[in-house]
Amino acid sequence: MRNLIAIALLLGSTAVAADPKCTTAERSTWQDQEQFQAKLKEQGYRINKFKVTKGNCYEIYGFDKDGRKVEIYHDPVTGKAVKTEIED
């Protein structure tokens, strides 16, 4: 029973840590999703998946200009990267 509780706590804390909170701003102030993705592509990113997270982030999965696999959470208002994970 203790093992099940420990596993549940571990999984729960992982899910919370994986989805940062980006903004509480009204969606009307967010950058247009297609224009935002176009800017990233102009910077050399290749986007395989784009989504809006529960934490109100624009999240991309793909590759950066150097071909490294990335997962990046962006503030949809400012466009600033809030969390970046790079896989070499």
pLDDT digits (tens, 9 = 90+) for 19-57: 799 999 999 999 999 999 999 999 999 999 999 999 999
Q: Which of 56, 58, 71 is nearest to 32 (CA)?
A: 58
Please say whether the dihedral angle defined by the alpha carbons of residues 51, 53, 56 and 58, taken in this order, is positive or negative. negative
Is residue 10 a part of any domain in this protein? Answer: no
- Structural domain for 62, as ranges: 21-87
Count up the domains in the chain and report the number.
1
Quote the percentage of the chain above a pLDDT of 70.
80
Is residue 16 a part of any domain in this protein? Answer: no
Planar angle of CA 39, 84, 13, nearest 5 degrees: 135
Is residue 9 a part of any domain in this protein? Answer: no
Give the pTM. 0.78
DSSP letter, residue 27: G
d(CA 36, CA 67) in angstroms, rounded, equals: 20
Is residue 40 a part of any domain in this protein? Answer: yes
Q: Cβ–Cβ contacts within 10 Å for residue 59, how many?
A: 21
Residue, of 42 and 7, whose pLDDT is higher: 42
Residue, of 28 and 88, whose pLDDT is higher: 28
Is residue 11 a part of any domain in this protein? Answer: no
Is residue 75 a part of any domain in this protein? Answer: yes
Which CATH number goes with the domain that contains 78? 3.10.450.40
